[in-house]
Amino acid sequence: KAKADPLTNICFYDPALGEAVRESRALASDLRQAIESDQLTLHYQVQTSIGSGEIRGYEALLRWTHPERGNIPPSRFIPLAEANGLILQLGDWVLRRACLDAAAWPSHLKVAVNLSAIQLTHIALPQQIHQVLIETGLPPARLEIELTETALIKDKAQSLHIMRQIKALGVSIALDDFGTGYSSLDTLRTFPFDKIKLDKSFTDELKTDPRSLAVVRAVLTLARSLGIPVLAEGIETVEQLELLRIEHCDEGQGYLLGRPAPKDVVSQLGQRIEVGGAPQPAQAPAPA
């Protein structure tokens, strides 16, 4: 009988793995409670125009403060929520909270919300988004959904269908972590994204690796011919920002421009974020 219990099985062969499984289960059940009690919050990270420094909006990033374990990163608990069927409830909470918060911001600011792959397989998603927009009063044009490539490739036809319905509401959709997936070009060709978010790993290597710079230039050219803007993720240095400005990358996000912070961060900032001298057309010599 004991063998039928997968936990017992794993423990028999590898006690360390069994420990990990036990911990994940405990955490998953804590997460269930966290959604109902007050342990979840959203932090917001600024997204700006690289050319002008103007603030375009904020990305909502989920935070969990566990009563005993303290802060647990989303990279740890989002996969747990996905594996335990909690992600729909969690995703609904995030969407509602983010739209409610954004409805109180100045009306030119957008809010970007990350959606999990599992949410996208849920046929009721467009209706749910519609409902949240009505209930919170947020105009659809001020909501942007962020999806990663892996969210789309399981069932392309259905993903496309759901994506079109979301866009029909007037909500925009960004392709998150672009360039790290395994068929990024096919994704761009197939799905009608409104924005490309270039993965942080490209930003990291811009200054030091000519090959990364070449790829970024190609992506910017491609995006331009598709008519969609590119946002560079993970900008940490003035040098990276300058290079992206020279390359005419449209938007940026990263610790240099602003770290994720509680929602008060929105009202405390002005209209514009200026880093490393006044933003202006490239004064540096044209790139080789």
The contact set with Mg ion (CB under 5 A) reads 114, 146, 176-177, 233
Task: Identify whether the C-beta of residue 206 lies closer than 8 Å to the C-beta of residue 213.
Answer: yes
Q: State yes or no: residue 175 binds ligand C2E (CB under 6 A).
A: no
Dist CA 93 CA 108 (whole Å): 24
Token digits of residue 164: 């079109």
H-run or E-run covering 230: strand 230-232
- What burial class does residue 153 get, using C-beta atoms within 10 Å of its C-beta: 0-12 exposed, 13-18 middle, 19+ buried? middle
The CB-of-96 to ligand C2E minimum distance in angstroms stands at: 11
CB of 117 to ligand C2E, least distance (A): 8
**Residue 12 contacts ligand C2E per CB under 6 A:** no
User: Which one of the spans 74-82, 160-168, 264-272, 279-287 is the region binding ligand C2E (CB under 6 A)?
Assistant: 74-82
Q: Rounding to the nearest 10 degrees, give the CA dihedral for residues 263, 264, 269, 272.
A: 10
- 86 forms part of the interface with ligand C2E (CB under 6 A): no
Cα–Cα dist 39/29, whole Å:
13
- From 31, 34, 40, 78, residue interacting with ligand C2E (rule: CB under 6 A): 78
Choose between 30 and 199: whose C-beta lies nearer to ligand C2E: 199
62 binds ligand C2E (CB under 6 A): yes
| Segment 251 to 280, residues that bind ligand C2E, using CB under 6 A | 253-255, 260
DSSP character for 269?
S
Residues within window 112-131 making contact with ligand C2E, judged by CB under 6 A: 114-116
Instruction: By CB under 6 A, tell whether 74 contacts ligand C2E.
Output: yes
Cβ distance to Mg ion smaller for residue 47 or 49:
47
Furthest CA-CA distance within the chain: 74
What H or E segment, with its residue span, contains residue 185? Answer: helix 184-190
Query: Which tokens go with 44?
Result: 């917001």
Return the number of the residue (86 or 232) whose C-beta is nearest Mg ion.
232
CB 94 to ligand C2E: min, Å: 4
**Range 207-236, binding ligand C2E (CB under 6 A):** 234-236
What kind and span of H or E run contains 246? helix 238-246
Burial class (CB in 10 A: 0-12, 13-18, 19+), 73: exposed
Q: Which does 255 bind (CB under 5 to 8 A by kind): ligand C2E, Mg ion, none?
A: ligand C2E
Binding region for ligand C2E (CB under 6 A) out of 25-33, 54-62, 211-219, 274-282? 54-62
